[in-house]
Amino acid sequence: MNRRQTRLAGLAVTLIVAGCSSSTSGPTPERVNGIAEKALDNMVFVEGGTFMLGDVGVLNGKPYTTFNSENNKPPVEVTLDSYSISKHETTWEEFVVYLRDVGRAQRYTLENGYSMAYKLPMTSNKDPLSPNYYRKPARSPNYGEAEGYCAWLANQTGVAFALPTEAQWEFAARNRGKNVPYATNDGTKRNDPYLRRPKEHVDPSIPPSGNMLSHSSLKPERRPVGSYPPSPIGLYDMSGNVAEWTQDWYDENAYQHIDPHNPQGPGEPVNPEKPEKVVRDWAGRGDHVGGGGTVFVRGGAPMSASNGFRCVVNQPEPIDG
């Protein structure tokens, strides 16, 4: 029995005992165990290294980002230890099991005052025509639940799951820091016309085309995770589909005083009255003009914002199979 099997066997015993007194509305121990095991299986090992964090195009006079983008210039050299990152954005199936297991699914309903539920409820279903189709990327109702999901996985597995730092996110999106503007199979953008203005057409029966979904749509519809070819290191949708939370506090000038080894951003909010976390992959959130859809774009979002996310595992060796 390897270390993963030992961890999950212990988890199963814990869940069975806990399940004897759990609410009937919660997921079964087998369901929780399945999500935990899938999370481990989905991790892609990223060997650490040194790279230039930020818009490296500016080094040769051709910046990749020109629209409201001084916060990623000039690029700075940083070194990261090895880690693993999820190949997929967290799905509705996975996220809703977490919300039910921690007893907070009902918090995010119209009945309990969560007004966004009219547009995008915190649910999961098996209807491919629904924006809550179980294989589509979840949008956490706030930063805290995205962070909470990764911490929940850590608790279930005994493995150091967490949200990625901004540097971890970009290093992985750029195939270990390569000079590529898009986290696609070949570093270029061949955009799926789905959800594009002016019609923002929604018809999930139309199969995906191109190699990413960069859009300006406020509609809740997205493509199922893994609809486009993976990047060379095996990651999906790090350009497009949904924007993604990282764990760093947002600082417009962060690169001017960044830690060169495993940077984690400021130790506290720059503006305590309006705390913001760094969001990456703006091709999966808003307008993609002026290079806005590239992997170099960074911005801040209030803690109450709704964004997608994926987890990392902070250990320097691959997760054993």
List the domain boundaries for the chain: 32-313
pLDDT at 91 over 60: yes
Which pLDDT does position 13 carry in this prediction?
A: 44
Q: What average pLDDT does range 166-179 have in this prediction?
A: 99
Q: Are strands 276-280 and 244-249 parallel, antiparallel or unpaired?
A: antiparallel
Which pLDDT does position 129 carry in this prediction?
A: 86
Instruction: Say how many residues make up the chain.
Output: 321
Distance CA 165, CA 169 (A): 6
First to last CA, the chain: 10
Q: Residue 156 burial by CB count (10 A; 0-12/13-18/19+): exposed, middle or buried?
A: buried
Q: What is the DSSP letter of 244?
A: E
**164 in Cβ contact with 90 (< 8 Å):** no
For the record, the structure tokens of 193 come out as 């016309």
Which pLDDT does position 25 carry in this prediction?
A: 74
pLDDT at 196 over 90: no
Q: Coil, strand or helix: which one is 282?
A: helix
Which pLDDT does position 243 carry in this prediction?
A: 93
pLDDT at 27 over 60: yes
- What is the pTM assigned to this prediction? 0.92
Q: What percent of the chain has pLDDT over 90?
A: 77
Distance CA 44, CA 319 (A): 9
Type and span of the H or E element at 185? none
pLDDT at 170 over 80: yes
pLDDT digits (tens, 9 = 90+) for 234-265: 999 999 999 999 999 999 999 999 999 999 99
DSSP secondary structure letters along 178-226: -S-SS-SSSSS--B--TT-TTTT---TTSPP-SSBB-----SS--PPTT
Type and span of the H or E element at 94? helix 92-101
Q: Which residue has the higher pLDDT, 130 or 195?
A: 130
pLDDT at 102 over 70: yes
Q: What is the CATH topology of the domain spanning 32-313?
A: paralog of FGE (formylglycine-generating enzyme) (3.90.1580)
